[in-house]
Copies of this chain bind each other. A is one copy, B any other.
Amino acid sequence: MDTWMRFMSSDGGVVFGRVEGGYLHEYESLDQPVPTGAVLSTRALTPLAPCAPGKIVALWNNYHALAAKLGKPVPTHPLFLLKPAGSVIGADEPIQRPLSYAGRIVYEGELGIVIGRRCRDASVEEVAEAIFGYTLVNDVTAADLLNENPHFPQWCRAKGFDTFCCIGPAIVSGFDWQRARLVTTLDGVERQNYPLADMVFSPAEQVSLISQDLTLEPGDVIACGTSVGVGSIRDGATVSITVEGIGTLSNSLNAARAAAVAGAEPVVASAG
């Protein structure tokens, strides 16, 4: 198992590489995993989300326990929505309540698959080399928007807000997901604790089947869906998602008022 992280350096550059004993061994990139020779102390670096996905494929109803609780049959093909690249934040970055939304905001602790190679119409056998590693995802949802319109479930809107896709803290390659459990705590109180082996579609099956629908690119993330124990985050609360071997992804929810102070005022960027 290797642990991979992405950081901002003090000069504003982005560095990616393998982390061991407090040092980053820099690599060219996730899809060009060639060492540059540089070794940097992580103490001088600011952690970022461990990859920069062009898209996030987020699964619904992919755990037997949740399907049973919802009273829904398990699907025959992965059911997914897309979260945009702009929704991604890393560990310890704040989830921002949208200025326009005062309703319930919900956490979902999930395993994330990080794609390492372009992948289209690939068999289950072929995808093994396309999976770079595994990370953690908090698939945040503005729950009251989902069914606000009775004619069109608003999955992309409810899950697509800026900061609503927390990814991190690291990508672990060679990780054996089959024996691991995912634990989610809310302000330190355990809310989810489920075995990853309860998945309907395994990571390899997900990558293979989804690659029949759209081309997966290096850095893309598949959020494997959540299981039972989903709940609301009140403003100021902290959600922590842990899988032993990968680490802990913690993010707090900022109220919209605080968000405005921190820079979420209206923006139409000048052309530079």
Question: Which positions in A face B, CB cutoff 8 Å?
Answer: 31-33, 54-55, 60-61, 72-73, 75-77, 79-87, 98-100, 116-123, 126-127, 129-130, 148-149, 151-157, 160-162, 212-215, 217, 264-272
Which B residues touch A151, using CB under 8 A? 61, 72-73, 75, 79
Give the complex CA separation of A195 and B123 in angstroms: 46
Cα distance A271–B214 when bound, in Å? Answer: 19
Chain B residues within 8 Å of A60, by CB: 152
Are A268 and B119 in contact, CB atoms less than 8 angstroms apart? yes
Q: List the B residue with the shortest CB-CB distance to A216.
A: B86
* 13 pairs from A and B in contact (CB 8 Å cutoff): A55-B84, A61-B152, A73-B151, A76-B149, A81-B156, A84-B214, A99-B212, A100-B213, A119-B268, A120-B266, A157-B213, A160-B213, A161-B213
A267 touches which one: B76, B83, B122 (CB < 8 A)? B122
11 more A-B contacts (CB under 8 A) besides A77-B148, A127-B268, A157-B213? A55-B85, A79-B152, A81-B155, A98-B213, A118-B269, A120-B162, A120-B266, A121-B267, A160-B213, A161-B214, A162-B215
- Expressed in whole angstroms, the minimum distance between the Cβ of A266 and any Cβ of chain B is 5
Copies in the complex: 2
Q: Interface centre among A118, A154, A268, by most B CB within 10 Å?
A: A268
- Chain B residues, CB < 8 A from A265: 121
Which 5 pairs of residues, A with B, have the shortest CB-CB distance? A118-B269, A100-B212, A82-B82, A79-B152, A120-B267
Bound CA span A217–B272, Å? 14
Please measure, in the bound complex, the distance between the C-alpha atom of A75 and the C-alpha atom of B152, giving whole angstroms. 10
Question: Are A122 and B82 in contact, CB atoms less than 8 angstroms apart?
Answer: no
A265 to B211, CA, bound (A): 12
> How far apart are the CA atoms of A86 and B112 in the complex, in Å?
20
Are A54 and B85 CB-contacts (below 8 A) given A157-B213, A268-B129? yes
